[in-house]
Structure 1
Amino acid sequence: MSKTSLKPAAPARQPVILPAAAAAIDSEQRALVAADQAVSALARQLNYQGSTDPDVLENSARDAIRRIGAGIFELGGYLLLLKEACAHGKFLPALERLGLGVDAAQRYMAVTRRFANTATSRHLDAIGMSKLVELLPLDDDQTLELAELGQTGELALDDVARMSVKELRAAVREVRAEREADQRLLEGKNKRIDQLEREKGRIALLEGDELLAQMQREAAAILADALGCVRGNLRAALQTLRDDGIKSGKLRAHEVFMAGLVGQLAAELATLREEFNLPDVSNAADQQLMAEVAQWGGQ
């Protein structure tokens, strides 16, 4: 039986690393080592003994921001209590010993009084003192909406963190203006409702001819308002359209649109006449006849 000669296996072929690639790898490794050394040196300088992993540092920074925000409310609370507890004339010297100016102390106290409750501070304590001060003009309802819903009007809590102080000031001003406009509109509606209710109650006490006269006066007042709109605003709009049509050479197109407006108004009047089965007394002779009929009926 013949012996089979065994040959040693050929060594695995090592990948060829080009000189340029090897130099790049070496340079990257040296940069990483240098960065680690720099971070370690800074950590020793700051007496920091925790992890230097970027993710850990980012989370730690986030926690620090939250603690700073909570500290704003904590300081404001201490100042509010200190002011209440100090005898007359003792609060300002206490602020001087703390190294706080009066204006700064007032801002801390105002922010804390407005925002430092469980529902609010949990959401707002991370945006910083300067922006909290800019939110002070919001009313209580708006503050509550911002804290609990994350938005009041067009102002969203997520946007507050991204805005500059100047942008936030302008946004708060706009939200306030919108709320005030809504309140004025609501107040106007409520006044009108109250007025109508009073009129309704007063009319209910009227009888016979007096009641009829009152209802006719109110209907005539409504007609006067409608005629005012037609003779004033609508006529002015038609005149503007006509002038522009003549100037631009598009009078025909404007007249078609104008006819549509007037036609819609005429259609509404025709619908009313048909609904209540009323005669057409749009010309002067018919109006005179109706007046005479009304006079005969009253005799």
Structure 2
Amino acid sequence: MSQMSHWTAKDIPDQRGRLAVVTGANSGLGLVTATELARHGAKVVLAVRNTDSGEQAAASIRAVAPVAELEVRKLDLASLASVREFAEKLTADVGGIDLLVNNAGLVILDSRRETSDGFELHMGTNMLGHFALTGHLLGALDRGDAPRVVNLSSIVHKSVTVDLDDLMSDRDFDGSRAYRRSKLATTAFGLELDRRLRAAGSPVIGVVAHPGMTRTNLTPRAFEHRGAVARAVARVAAVLTTQSVDQGTLPQLYAATAQGVRGGQFFGPAARGERRGHVAEVRPSEQAGDPAFGSRLWTAAEALTGVSYL
């Protein structure tokens, strides 16, 4: 594990002149990411499902960065039609995109639900929606300046494997497991993306990051289906074992902005178990990092989304 010398948001290079797109930028890790990018001069597109919430997030960013260049645009990752519409409109309006942060995520439902396209909701939102989005935006990214795509993983991707014959968890749905599988798939997608970018000679690089155990707005949702006592115990444990959102956002900010970042790198917290701490380069699970699995997952994602781009 290679630690990045206690890197903080103060070390973010000047982002003036860069256009960044951050999905799920209205709260949690996405809001901190958008705030820091804007604070350091980037123009930031807040890609959010609820534009009212997005406008509130933009107002909170302007409160700490009054000259921030921000734009709120509607994006529902659980709808391939919404993804396509978002990408087509944005591509028509901008010359190029310098940074895409695939941050948005949905976590741990107590019952199986599906996207508008019939995908299991975790896999469809967290991985397939971002797969389609990245594909639709790749032309604009190619025109960017030192362009990067950052995929947000999770430490929990290391606790599961994915069966490509049951990618939608039809046979054995469990909310927690479905979320973890979606994050394994997201990690594998990010690493396979960079392999294909390199093979194609693209200027875009693909990088992956995870926040460790971080107290985000998603954390309470993980306990909603438990009893009152279990929820209380879990929340106390979360406070004692997790880190702040600001600290947890550093790996993806490093991946998005730090000088010298190479395609295919994976960043997370440095402390034991990667739960918290300073930014370090970390390793994916064996399956997530396996090029053969990444290639098979890519083929499946192309077939499911109808998006082919590398």
Pairwise same-fold verdict (TM > 0.5): no
TM-score, with length taken from structure 1? 0.19
Higher-Rg structure is 1
TM-score, with length taken from structure 2? 0.19
Higher helix share: 1
